[in-house]
Amino acid sequence: MPRNKSFSIKTFFYKNFRRLERFIFLLKSLLTPRQFIYLSCVLVGISSALAVIILKTFAHWVFKMSQQLDDFLHLPFSNSTLPIIGIVITVIIVKKVLDGSIEKGTAQIMYAVAKKRGIMPRKQMFAQIITSSFTVGMGGSAGLESPITITGAAFGSNYAQNYRLSYKDRTLLLACGVAAGIGAAFNAPIAGVLFAIEVVLAEISITAFIPIMISAATGALVSTVMLNEDILFSFKKVQFFDYHNLPYYILLGVLSGLVSINYARTFRKIEHYFSGLRSNFINKALFGAGILGVLIFLFPSLFGEGYESIKLLADSNPERLVQNTVFQRFEDSKWILLLFVGATMLIKVYATSLTLGAGGNGGNFAPSLFVGSYLGFCVAYFFNIVGFAKLPIGNFTLVGMAGILSGLFHAPLTAIFLIAEITGGYNLMVPLMIVSSVSFAISKRFEPHSFDIKNLADKGEVFTDNRDANILNSIDVAKLIQTDFKAISLSNSLEELVQKIQESDEHFFPVLDEKNKLLGLIHLDEIRPIVFSQFKVKYTVVEEIMQPPKEIIFYDETLETIMEKFDTSGCKVLPVLKDGIFLGFIYKQLILEKYRMRLKSMIIE
């Protein structure tokens, strides 16, 4: 009987889903393309907001269940034990349920836009919710915002695929899902719009703003109505900006840029270390999570997202951070408290990288806010202790979040308006602009690519701030290689070369050895005086007329690099090698034709 009941529930949802799908297809046939996009951005916004609600609620449910489990089992050092359990559960789910892999970080969204024509796997609509809830809900030191944006993007992408929309509309709805996710997570629709534009879409026209704004507003509205306010991250206690504190805000901006650089480089080193481990996935999880447990034991505020500790700092209650820790007896010492907060700030990157490196799922959005708030607190608290100034600790705590977010993700506008929106006003707009811009400028100087796409940029796989490179890198190099060539060897006579010329329309002939390694090139235009002279044909050998290539294209190079080689060499055709073996030729004209075709389909109206 229960089985039949379960079957009837599944049948009920399936039938109603199919009815809704048919209804939307009907609307698509009745509405203009633009009208259907407006309808779609609302539906994607609602879907992304519901995903945020499910994710946040499920994560908090996991947290409460883990606390009740702790009360029942009386686990020793539960704050250190629970993250280990959560990470192990996550890696088991990934291994046994999700085909052994799951993409982490918003970089995969940019990769989908640049290389996959806006197509994201269907499993990302639920995989991020399940895995990040267990990781973060049970204390893993990461954030939920990155999984939220990936889920929103997956909803937008798969919606567009389901209703057979074009590439430009698919990419637009993917960005709508991202905007709605951020808007719903923080009740910050403007920040959602700006994040989608700054991070996901490098270049869009004005008309694309409207669907993204509609989605972000829809997401924020749905989460406000349905989500418990305690789950949302917001502040109400903000002081007015005092221009006398301007030098200290500039200093905070400088420090934010430097800390952002350190965070990005440290995280990548630890991530690289874990990716190189060859141990069993459970052993890797236990190893990384075990170290994380020790860090959380010493610095309890590293547990979970850390938003509660940010509120404590913003409300000027830092002494509560050391309660129930090994440093509790020093809570009345301001200098010890400052060192404790500063150490926690610097160690946060290790906690987050251990969480994700060990196999947990989450993002660096919340950790960036965590580090920024702690940095802002340390700056204000230090100058207050030494008596140089009386700085508003709450303001510096909040503005510091914008500094690290801007420096780490290269998204200054998102940082400015996110903090402005979660504080419920624009009293801090001037210091937010100063700190975010200074931090961004310093970080950009030493780290040209943002934290999330650095690895992809190093591989030449995605450049979201450069449309031309973005389009070029979306073209498959392998499909451009022309393999229909007539090869020549050193042992061939010129009579044989003349025969090949007569049988072919090609102007370039590669000279290869017995292992297909390129020895040189023969250009028809340069040897015409020879091939039309029977005497020269008879007494000239191949080695005399072949020339070394001006440039060589290697198989794993990006099209942006390839185009640079065409420009510097002045050639129209270049040879392609892979592991020293000649594969064929690439023609510059063919690349330009592919570029024009792709540009025509990729421009978002």
On whether both 478 and 455 belong to a single domain, the answer is no
**CA distances for 437 relative to 241, 357, 374, 494, angstroms:** 17, 31, 19, 66
Q: CB of 604 within 8 A of CB of 208?
A: yes
Residues forming a β-bridge with 542: none
* pLDDT at position 605: 42
* pLDDT at position 483: 83
Q: What gap in Å lies between CA 100 and CA 112, rounded to an integer?
A: 20
Residue for token pair 């949302």: 232
In sequence order, which residues have a C-beta less than 8 Å from that of residue 177 and are 6 or more positions away? 44, 45, 47, 48, 149, 151, 152, 153, 154, 155, 156, 157, 215
* pLDDT at position 535: 67
On whether both 64 and 180 belong to a single domain, the answer is yes
CB half-sphere exposure, 353, CA atoms < 13 A: 20
Q: Of 193, 226, 259, which residue sits at a domain end? A: 226
Report the number of distinct structural domains present in the chain. Answer: 3
Q: Which residues in 346-469 belong to E strands, given as ranges?
A: none
Burial class (CB in 10 A: 0-12, 13-18, 19+), 40: buried
Element (H, E) at 53: helix 33-73
Q: What is the DSSP letter of 241?
A: P
The three-state secondary structure class of 584 is strand
**CA distances for 254 relative to 247, 258, 279, 382, angstroms:** 11, 6, 40, 16
On whether both 25 and 157 belong to a single domain, the answer is yes
Q: Of 226, 257, 276, which residue sits at a domain end? A: 226
Does some domain include residue 169?
A: yes
On whether both 449 and 477 belong to a single domain, the answer is no
Does some domain include residue 348?
A: yes
DSSP characters over 268-291: HHHHHHHHT--S-HHHHHHHHHHH
First to last CA, the chain: 54
Q: CB of 445 within 8 A of CB of 404?
A: no
* pLDDT at position 205: 61
Does some domain include residue 235?
A: no
Strand 518-523 with 508-512, pairing: antiparallel
Across the chain, which has 605 residues, the per-10-residue mean pLDDT values are 54 72 85 89 92 84 68 63 90 85 77 78 85 88 89 91 85 91 88 85 69 91 75 63 89 96 93 85 90 90 86 80 76 86 94 92 90 94 90 91 93 90 80 95 88 71 58 75 82 73 75 85 75 68 80 84 86 87 88 78 51
**CA distances for 253 relative to 248, 258, 259, 359, 442, angstroms:** 9, 9, 10, 33, 9
Q: CB of 450 within 8 A of CB of 411?
A: yes
On whether both 129 and 167 belong to a single domain, the answer is yes
* pLDDT at position 4: 54
Does some domain include residue 58?
A: yes
Triad 33, 39, 40: Cα angle to 5°: 85
CA dihedral of 273, 276, 281, 283, whole degrees rounded to 10: -60
Helices (H) and strands (E) in the chain, counts: 25, 5
CA dihedral of 334, 322, 338, 415, whole degrees rounded to 10: -130
Does some domain include residue 585?
A: yes
On whether both 483 and 406 belong to a single domain, the answer is no
Choose among 120, 180, 103: nearest CA to 154.
120
On whether both 218 and 289 belong to a single domain, the answer is no
On whether both 413 and 555 belong to a single domain, the answer is no
Does some domain include residue 231?
A: no
Within a 10 A sphere around the Cβ of 224, how many other Cβ atoms? 14
Q: What gap in Å lies between CA 259 and CA 195, rounded to an integer?
A: 21
Residue 522 has phi, psi (to 5 degrees) of -115, 125
Q: What pLDDT digit, counting tens, does each position of 520-565 carry?
A: 888 777 677 776 667 666 667 777 778 888 888 888 887 778 888 8
Within a 10 A sphere around the Cβ of 560, how many other Cβ atoms? 16
Q: What gap in Å lies between CA 251 and CA 220, rounded to an integer?
A: 34
Residue for token pair 């806006």: 118
Q: Of 401, 433, 462, which residue sits at a domain end? A: 462
Does some domain include residue 237?
A: no
On whether both 62 and 121 belong to a single domain, the answer is yes
Does some domain include residue 161?
A: yes
SS3 annotation, 324-377 = CCCCHHHCCCHHHHHHHHHHHHHHHHHHHHHHHHCCCCCECHHHHHHHHHHHHH
CATH code: domain of residue 89 = 1.10.3080.10
On whether both 518 and 569 belong to a single domain, the answer is yes
Q: CB of 370 within 8 A of CB of 306?
A: yes
* pLDDT at position 62: 75
Q: What gap in Å lies between CA 364 and CA 144, rounded to an integer?
A: 9
Spacing of C-alpha 155 from chain mean position = 16
- Provide the residue range defining the domain that includes 31: 2-226
* pLDDT at position 469: 65
Max CA-CA distance within the chain? 101
On whether both 251 and 394 belong to a single domain, the answer is yes
On whether both 118 and 217 belong to a single domain, the answer is yes
Element (H, E) at 9: helix 2-30
Both tokens assigned to 491: 């042992």
Q: CB of 147 within 8 A of CB of 128?
A: yes
The three-state secondary structure class of 68 is helix
* pLDDT at position 176: 93
